[in-house]
Amino acid sequence: MYYHNGCYAYSKKTLNLIRKKGYHYLAQVKSNNKKLLNWIEFLIQVNPKAYDTYTSVDTNRHGRYEYRRCDIYNDTYGINEDWKDVSTIIRVTSCVQKSGDNFCSFERHYYISSLISDAKTFAFIVRKHWGIENSLHYVKDVTFNEDTSRMRTGQIPLVSTILRSLAIGLLNQHHCKNLKQMRKIFAWDFEKLFSLFKA
């Protein structure tokens, strides 16, 4: 199973390549692909009955409750013309609420997949992805300001994201708690940075 974070214009080739290799994909449909997102919302509006649903409730030590519902739809009419082997539409709805608080933060995300499976399986896959999203991509954005980077030419974006991942992995391997602080320390003293490679 291959997870692709976001259906961008160039990802159609990527998804085709994944299928040619014999793997399945799960790709999040984001607002930057408005045409596909609007079409998925239209299909669900026309045929709102999901063929499978899974609901979970998670709590943590801080009294935070998260209600998650995963709905699976198999009506993919009109999508396969542009996207390779789409078999399933997944809608994940989440509501996060703190104990004693009436306010609930509500989010809804859509995914397409070549895999045919039940809602519990897709809920697990999506949840695992968000674990990666929170631990890596969020750190890349907040600590390394990746989303504001202006590097757009050639292989530079790919190389820079690999270097960021390498830096995060190296700091995690040495159990560094505050990555933002460590980034500043190593920027001021290169010898400390190179000492990580010797350890």
Q: 5-15: per-residue pLDDT in tens?
A: 555 444 677 88
Decide if 79 is inside a domain. yes
CA distances from 20 to 7, 13, 16, 83, 114 (A): 18, 10, 6, 13, 12
User: According to the model, what pLDDT value does residue 108 have?
Assistant: 92
Query: Residue 190 pLDDT > 70, yes or no?
Result: no
State the total domains in the chain.
1
Task: For residues 125-129, give the mean pLDDT.
Answer: 80
User: According to the model, what pLDDT value does residue 130 have?
Assistant: 64
CA distances from 115 to 89, 111, 158 (A): 10, 11, 28
List, in sequence order, every residue forming a beta bridge with 19; answer none if it has no partner: none
> 121: pLDDT confidence band, cut at 50, 70 and 90?
very high
Pairing type for strands 25-29 and 2-4 reads: parallel
Q: Between 143 and 49, whose confidence is greater?
A: 49
Decide if 196 is inside a domain. no
- Residue 166: Cβ-neighbour burial (10 angstroms; 0-12, 13-18, 19+): exposed
Query: Residue 193 pLDDT > 50, yes or no?
Result: yes
User: According to the model, what pLDDT value does residue 133 have?
Assistant: 57
C-alpha 180/C-alpha 55 separation (Å) is: 36
Decide if 166 is inside a domain. no
Decide if 182 is inside a domain. no
Task: For residues 88-104, give the mean pLDDT.
Answer: 82
Task: For residues 125-136, give the mean pLDDT.
Answer: 67
Is the CB of residue 120 less than 8 Å from the CB of residue 146?
no
Is the CB of residue 95 less than 8 Å from the CB of residue 67?
yes
User: According to the model, what pLDDT value does residue 8 have?
Assistant: 44
Q: pLDDT > 70: what percent of the chain?
A: 71
Decide if 7 is inside a domain. yes
Decide if 141 is inside a domain. no
Q: Counting every residue, how long is the chain?
A: 199
Q: Between 39 and 193, whose confidence is greater?
A: 39
DSSP character string of 27-58: EEE-TTSHHHHHHHHHHHHHS---SEEEEEEE
Domain interval for residue 94: 2-117
pTM: 0.65
* Cβ partners under 8 Å of residue 74, min gap 6: 51, 87, 88, 89, 116
Decide if 152 is inside a domain. no
Query: Residue 59 pLDDT > 80, yes or no?
Result: no
Coil/strand/helix, residue 148: helix
Query: Residue 195 pLDDT > 80, yes or no?
Result: no
Query: Residue 4 pLDDT > 60, yes or no?
Result: no
The number of beta carbons lying within 10 Å of the beta carbon of residue 195 is 12
Pick the closest to residue 44 from 65, 18, 67, 71 (CA basis).
71
**Considering only 20-29, 76-85, 89-98, 185-194, which range has the smallest mean pLDDT?**
185-194
Q: Between 93 and 156, whose confidence is greater?
A: 93
